[in-house]
Chain A
């Protein structure tokens, strides 16, 4: 029955799923070493040295990591709390529809909307003015394009938290945490112990891969920091695109250095997440 003909499916998989990624990586790598590129004249470590010495990459990386970490932690924490306190109410007809609505809003709209609300001429600034808290737009606190990335983090939370609420509600049902909690209570656990020994461990165990995945997605987010970010430091994707699109040809190569570093980082994360032999964390 089985003949050793080349498997067309696998060939196509490599052609669509692997080749573009490999090509993109090799291209960025060659560019970063000055081997290709308009004004480049052959192999040089100049761009790597410059990027590593200036610290732009590390600053941007640290900035992105902190933002993504804060946003994911707050989102997951909030979602856990909502699931714990409101899961029964959220099953009701209208609410069970409403909680899905945030998924219909893409990053670029979230960014735009946050800007409309929190900028110095925005909705809240107007209200503050009306209520007499401020007399001029400039008195309104920096909440967008600000150093603490309040706007970005706020946007991320509004994007990610609804997803995690839905996810946790899903796992709660599939893993029969309700029944297990009752069982634990019948064994003598108080409500605190139920949360710590049943509710949290099961939810986190089943979803930690997704939590990390969302952290990585936020790390590479583009639209939101593009609209709500500041001049410097910037989040990784914004930094990479800005440098690659510059007219200063040296900067382009440096942009590719950052792109290579970012790709390596993400690839290592993918390896660490998906290489270990384990059962699928959460299959629908």
Chain B
């Protein structure tokens, strides 16, 4: 008889996927876990209580991350949507699309390093506005390219139809184009939110450690070898996307091209 090995492999895969989540929560509850102990000597809510007592500013980081990411998502989705229309209805759309791929494909941290001079000159260095602007610059090409497939013949036909029915530009947008794009706008919003939420390199360069988003905190704790707080910040970082996943998988699954 052939043994059906698939269930075993699948169970193992599920365990492997769930393991990081469990382990990070576990580590965030631990304290004074010295090598070679297999079980930490302290396990409890101590770290969480300290953090929510705001001693390490982690709660602050959470909210500034949230503010930054929401701003980036709003700006990049809105501008990406509006501007992509001009780009993808343009006769030279192929060339324009190609131009958008350059910043998209470049490592954000290198991009930031080469841009930092301009940010310094414009007073956008080491403050939240600067970080929002920098993240917006890398999220924008993503949002723009995201909508490339939306502006097709069919949507053009809908726009023409509304015009012949007597609708003006404003009515065309509010009554037809935006309702048609609603689903995509939501997806783009959350995906650009996550681009910003997960961003580390660029933020560390433009924010120079003064703008402490969650990712910056994680790295700070790693450098301090404070792994328990590190794990705790990781938890704060990964559970919002899990919630988004629960609502709609497409909010998190980014595939472009």
A residues at B contact (CB < 8 Å): 7-10, 12-13, 16-18, 20-21, 23-25, 27-28, 82, 85-86, 89, 95, 97-109, 112-113, 115-117, 121, 123, 125-127, 129-130, 137, 162-163, 166-167, 170, 209-210, 213, 216-217, 220-223, 226-227, 236-237, 240-241, 244, 255-256, 259, 262-263, 266-267, 269-271, 273-275, 277, 280-284
30 contacts between A and B (CB under 8 A): A7-B90, A13-B87, A13-B96, A16-B140, A17-B83, A17-B103, A20-B115, A23-B115, A24-B118, A97-B249, A98-B17, A101-B17, A101-B21, A109-B24, A109-B218, A109-B234, A112-B218, A112-B230, A129-B35, A137-B35, A166-B255, A217-B107, A237-B107, A256-B114, A259-B113, A266-B105, A274-B98, A281-B257, A284-B149, A284-B255
How many pairs of residues, A versus B, come closer than 8 Å at their CB atoms? 231
Smallest CB gap from A283: residue in B: B149
| CB of A230 to closest CB in B, whole Å | 16
Smallest CB gap from A273: residue in B: B101
For A95, the chain B residues whose CB sits under 8 A away are: 10, 14
Q: Please pick, from A82, A106, A137, A241, the residue contacting B109 in the complex, using a CB distance under 8 A.
A: A241
Query: B86 contacts A9, CB within 8 Å?
Result: yes
Query: A220 contacts B110, CB within 8 Å?
Result: yes
Binds A, one of B44-52, B53-61, B173-181, B237-245: B237-245
Q: If A9-B87, A220-B110, A283-B149 touch, does A269 touch B105 (CB 8 Å cutoff)? A: yes
Q: How many angstroms from the CA of A95 to the CA of B9 in the assembled complex?
A: 13
Query: A24 contacts B111, CB within 8 Å?
Result: yes
Smallest CB gap from A24: residue in B: B114
For A20, the chain B residues whose CB sits under 8 A away are: 103, 111, 115, 137
Q: If A127-B38, A223-B200 touch, does A13 touch B86 (CB 8 Å cutoff)? A: yes
Q: How many angstroms from the CA of A75 to the CA of B108 in the assembled complex?
A: 23
Smallest CB gap from B89: residue in A: A9
Q: How many angstroms from the CA of A104 to the CA of B238 in the assembled complex?
A: 6
Chain B window 4-40, contacts with chain A (Cβ cutoff 8 Å), 1 for yes, 0 for no: 0010011001100110110110010000000111100
Query: A17 contacts B110, CB within 8 Å?
Result: no
Tell me if B253 counts as interface (CB < 8 A to partner A): yes
Query: A241 contacts B201, CB within 8 Å?
Result: yes
Q: Please pick, from A9, A259, A270, the residue contacting B83 in the complex, using a CB distance under 8 A.
A: A9
Q: Closest 8 interchain pairs by CB?
A: A9-B86, A220-B107, A106-B198, A24-B114, A104-B241, A129-B36, A222-B201, A28-B114
Q: If A10-B87, A25-B114, A27-B114 touch, does A130 touch B14 (CB 8 Å cutoff)? A: no
Query: A99 contacts B17, CB within 8 Å?
Result: yes
Query: B234 contacts A130, CB within 8 Å?
Result: no
| CB of A255 to closest CB in B, whole Å | 8
Query: B113 contacts A244, CB within 8 Å?
Result: yes
Chain B window 91-109, contacts with chain A (Cβ cutoff 8 Å), 1 for yes, 0 for no: 0001011111111011111
Query: B105 contacts A270, CB within 8 Å?
Result: yes
Q: If A9-B82, A109-B238, A241-B205 touch, does A267 touch B103 (CB 8 Å cutoff)? A: no
| CB of B243 to closest CB in A, whole Å | 9
Residues of chain B from 100 to 138 with CB closer than 8 A to chain A in the complex: 100-103, 105-111, 113-115, 117-118, 136-137
